A and B are shown apart, each in its own frame.
Chain A
Amino acid sequence: MRKPGKTLAPAPFDADEVRRLAEGLKALDGALLPILHAINDRFGHVDERAVPIVADVLNLTRAEVHGVLTFYHDFRRAPAPRHVVRLCRAEACQAMGADALHAELEKACRGGPVLVEAVYCLGNCALSPAALIDGKLYGRLDVAKVLELART
């Protein structure tokens, strides 16, 4: 099924495709999350216009779908830039200077094609500071390394 953290280039909204994805998964127990993942993966984000369609397919209200959608940071509400760096901000990485790294990255990436996001623990504490860069895990990072990895 879906590859964790993988972010595709954004595709234009397609109501029929959203409905098709939702119909295909609606028989699952607790189908809402798999459907939102499928849409997120397919389009790179979950467009607001997808919410009423998913609600209709699952016979839920817009409010219920919206509540779940906005609860999880992994579901994007808008197309992401080309590259996403999900930098760990949890304790072990903090101890290894992740906060400073974050500040430097923010500065370096502002307005560019690389989006820096926070994540709390990737289970890679022995190799802090760690980050997921475009879905792939890396450790012992510094600014230069991150930028190099993100731009390739």
Chain B
Amino acid sequence: MTAVDEIPDDVVVEILARLPVKSLLRFRCVCKLWRSIISDSSFIELHRTLSFTRAGGNLLLLCFPSVAHWPWRLLFYIDHSEEEGRCNAFRNDFSLSGFSECINGLICQDDPQPQVCNLSTKERVILPTTAMDFPKWIQTSSHCSLRFEPRNNTYKILRTWKVYWSSLVWSPRFEIFTLGSNTWRSLIPESNISVLGHRHSVCVGGTMYWNNLREKNVVAFDVAEERLRLVPSPCRTIHSAIVQLDGRVAMVNYHGLVDGGDSMRVWVQEDDRNGNWSMEKKIVFPSIWRDVKRGMPSFCHLIFETTHGAELVKPEMYGVGCPPSVCNYVESLVSLREIINPNNS
């Protein structure tokens, strides 16, 4: 390559915004100007937007929980921009299991202690253990999820606990952490709220939703107000999944599929406060469904894409003891150090 003269700054920005995070971490030490471009918040935002479509910028993370006799937790990523969809293992720097959804390149997890990581820059922040005062003999389990609140430009972590008073009896507890603060804060819900659906929550317009499994309603958590409340569900929450559809909350009821039928129903939430849902559609499955169901091990999940004509694919994941957690991951330069110490960067 031969040298070129004076390239304008806006062209430099356009080129740098198309590079993987790993290259940018190296190119920060090209010169002071490049370092300031790469650290600039509007550049970080542009880079993240382009990462959605850049080859290698948008990954699918698969994490297999620990299996008995096999102590390793594995995190795979699939680069679906490549034709073959290569599957690579992350180096074992992060022992991730049951991670949250990816928010601006950050994910949080709860094991072995609560932490937030940027997988692209390999930056990690360990959070305080808990503010809960559990007796030593008590068994607990917890799950964390990370949310971004644009109004105050803050990241919050909601953590739900299951506190086992005996092997069968447990009660839920809630706490919240603002990234940059020092302590967890306890949350007291207004009514009887289940934590079971938290792992499968969705976030729409600053509110998280998950199924309140035992009841016919949905848990809503307003991230800014930090308020837990219940909204009515359009159907029984058993055999239902809460999803996001065109930026709105939708409920998919697949009871029909489990019950020997061949259809599922979808409702879309019209109004959060009054709990109005409109019937979106009834989805009838092709006849192949019955054959697929017969040969499907109970632990397998069916994944199908509607964009390519709603084709059902028989899963080929035999031999894996438990379903992996799957999430979409988009590369980002977002700096945890700056979130925690905004004035000291």
A and B interact physically: no
